[in-house]
Structure 1
Amino acid sequence: MDVVPYEVRLREPLQTGSRRIDRREGVLVRVESTAGAEGWGDAAPLPGFSVESRPQAEQELRDLAVRMVGLDIQSPADLDRLPNLRQALSSSARFAVETALVTAAAAEAGRTPGAWLLGVDADRCTVNALLGNEPLTWPVAAARRAAEGFVSIKLKVGRRPVDVELAAVRAAAAAAPAVRWRLDANRAWTGAEALAFARGLAGLPVDYVEEPLRAGETLPAGWPRTVGIACDESLQSYDDVPDPVPPVVAWVLKPTLAGGLARSLARMRQARRCGCEVVFSAAYESGVGVRMLGELAAATGIPAGLDTYRLLAEDVLEPRLHFAGGMLDLGKA
């Protein structure tokens, strides 16, 4: 197994919690099967969200490399039988190794990773657009992204007064009437604030409000039945999580942050058993990681959160991944 650190520039600085970053750092993993098939993965801890640092993930991968010699996987079930990965690796490092093993196994079988892993051979993946943080820009930006072909748009809310953001959401929806909306609060609100926001969405085509409540808050009585909730940070744990129940309608899965590929697939199966949608989403990984996420998302048929890729001014892949018409073209990836 080869371990290759990388850095890529961002088009503009990214604020993650209290951190401001202008470059994305990660570690590529390369494996080769006994038959000569090659696979790649990406470990890209996200500052402010990941527990592990990039140097820590790199060291974990280098320590694991000698134990990977002679290891091949023959079926997706084999991912759950790799105890070294659970014991020795942090979330992003685990995602990288699992992705490399899957892409090598798929290449050896002459199949796409999505077909090998989930039985779905798709050539494209629908993506939701992600708009900037300034509400005043949302209507113009929404109209532009809708004209580009996006049918789903995500907005980051919980950063301005509730009435200001509600007005901006309504203006954006009016500017892009064919779009469905995902509103991510990143655990910003009290129960009262979340309830006021949810009630203000009446009549809008909203898929869900993501993580509306700050830690320690409980969902207030009177939550509108028409406003679904999505979980994201709640799933970023190595522990088992309870089955989703209404008003939860979607689980947002970020393998880089949520324990890797195998754990995310297990959570996907859990959510589906409960009738809950699964949205695969990126954490500003390179094209190697984003391509794997596109394969997973294409199998669900649900728009994925992969528009973070636009922020990368450069990539480890050449040519870059091809996005057009609100979709990631997996055939050109």
Structure 2
Amino acid sequence: MSQSSSALRAGIFFFLVGAHTVQADTLNLSWDNDLLAASDKGYTNGLRFSYLTEAASGGPDSCHLCLADHASEGLAWLPGIGDAGNHHGVAFSLSQLMFTPENIEATTPQYDDTPYAGYLSGVAMLWSWNDRSITGYGLIVGVVGPESGAENAQKWAHKLTGSDNPKGWDNQLGNDAIGGIQALHAERLLRATSADDFTSEITWGTGVRLSNFITNAELGVAWRIGTHLPHNFIPDYSGASSTIGLPGATDATAAGWSLFAGLGTEWVPYSYLDDRSGPYTFEQRPFVGYAGIGVGWHFPGFQAAFTLKASTSPDKTSKEALRFGTLSVNWQL
């Protein structure tokens, strides 16, 4: 591991957790892997660690540093931020994604498949929410290439699990800095609760991301049923892609379970894998559809979920669907 690689990853990490002295509300660990869906192609692995600050709206005496209050006051001009009665929190996340071809034992480039690519990013999001809706704005910084550490991470994981050793990382896409902004919004269309606290709800969400790794717009709907449901807006079928599911994720009043499903579509006018893949045949499909189903278990201060997700192929040259599973755990400090 190079000194520059170590310094870069350390810099992103401390940028994200430098607010560790702020009172914390929720921690999250989300893991995507295609082997959880009995697949091994394209999007291979994703890992995200996230931290959501406590919603601090009681003035300087009720919080340490009051990061959420200061951020919401400074960005109150943005739609959905600073509305009277809203809760505010700042989420920091560190994500590492891996993209590999189907045959990971080949040492030569496979130009008719997805190129090897590693991605490491840090995201800071300001969330504003009430019982009906949630809105967030975020800043993205990161790197693509060997500096992402994806090669070492995958080789370590495969050695630990006894899986095939990936041999083509020498062909991965080169180092590039990544930056961008994003905005997300979701609303609860229906939440009905019976006398025995059995709840059914429907939510919808949309988002836009502008970055030099991917530029996209998303629209989706989610349905969830269960007992003693927490009040987060989006069930964790989104996996390592966003922290929108964190606010309210650990506020269940008693132990319970949930079943959920989601459908959505994504428009992708720009993809780094398409633009920078050179001789590889990967060509980004402009419209991608996706679906997810999952099950969750929760009690006050804790939530865990397992999700299976599938999407139409993001590559125009392939008709094979992309499938992966997600394990997610949230706990309140």
TM bucket, shorter chain: under 0.3
Indicate the structure with greater strand content: 2
Q: Answer 1 or 2: higher relative contact order, Cα 8 Å, separation at least 6.
A: 1
TM-score w.r.t. structure 1 length? 0.21
The TM-score with structure 2 as length reference comes to 0.21
